[in-house]
A = this chain, B = another copy of it.
Amino acid sequence: MEIGKEIKQTKFKNEHQKMLINILFTSGWLGAKHNFNLKPFGISAQQFNILRILRGQHPKPATVNILIDRMLDKNSNASRLVEKLRIKKLVERAVCPEDRRAVNVVITKKGLDLLDELDKMDNTFLKDLKNLSEKEAATLNLLLDKLRG
Contact = CB atoms under 8 A, between A and B. Distances in A.
B16 A72 contact: no
A98 interface: no
Nearest to A35: B75
A32 B126 contact: no
Contact of A31 (B24, B69, B138): B24
A141 B70 contact: no
Interface residues of A, number: 58
B144 A16 contact: no
B26 A148 contact: yes
Interface string A8-31: 110001111111111111111111
B26 A30 contact: no
Interface of A: 1-3, 6-9, 13-32, 34, 45, 56, 69-75, 122, 125-126, 129-132, 134, 136-141, 143-149
Given A3-B145, A24-B31, 10 more contacts: A1-B148, A8-B70, A9-B70, A14-B137, A15-B137, A16-B126, A16-B129, A16-B134, A24-B34, A132-B143
